Amino acid sequence: MENNDYRNITLSTKVCARQKAEYVKLATENGISVSEWVACTVESNKNKYGKEGDPTKRELALEKEIDTMKKKNIRLEKDRESADYRVSLDMKRADKAVEERDEIRYQLKENIAKSTDLELQLKKYKPNNQQYNKETNSVAPLFSFIGIIASAFFLMRK
């Protein structure tokens, strides 16, 4: 049985002398061999596809997610503005209703005061009205009788 975890296969690439010197320097600074440094570099970049500087699939997915979040934020801001507007309209309507209620209460109190004054005046003049009613009740039959005579007189003239 073969063990696939042994490093016994060689990968190679061509570089210029300046690049090799740079890679050797970087590897020695990290205390590893050039081949180990190259293997680590390849391993850490194995999911990056395309040309250098092109965004990776993960970066593209993150950009898409950022765009989605920006659109959602814009929509939420508009919803909030709309809600704020609706709340301000409701507040104005509530203030108007409170003002109308206060005005109606004031009018009611005025009318109650007027009603009370009228009741007092009625009580004040009630005895006078009763006496007047008695006087007019005794005169009423007289006026009725005079009305009948006048009607009969007009009918006879015709």
Instruction: Tell me how far apart the alpha carbons of residues 142 and 26 are, in angstroms, rounded to a whole number.
Output: 138
Q: Return the ∠ at Cα 44 (arms to 35 and 8), rounded to 5°.
A: 35
pLDDT at 139: 58
pLDDT at 51: 67
pLDDT at 135: 59
Domain coordinates of the chain in residue numbers? Answer: 13-47
**Is the model's pTM score more than 0.85?**
no
Q: Within the chain, which residues score under 70 in pLDDT?
A: 1-4, 48-52, 128-143, 157-158
pLDDT in tens, 114-156: 999 888 888 887 776 666 666 556 556 666 777 777 777 777 7
Burial class of 23 by CB neighbour count within 10 A (0 to 12, 13 to 18, 19+): middle
Q: Contact 40/32 with Cβ under 8 angstroms?
A: yes
Q: At residue 86, what is the residue type?
A: R
Q: Which two tokens stand for residue 124?
A: 């004040």
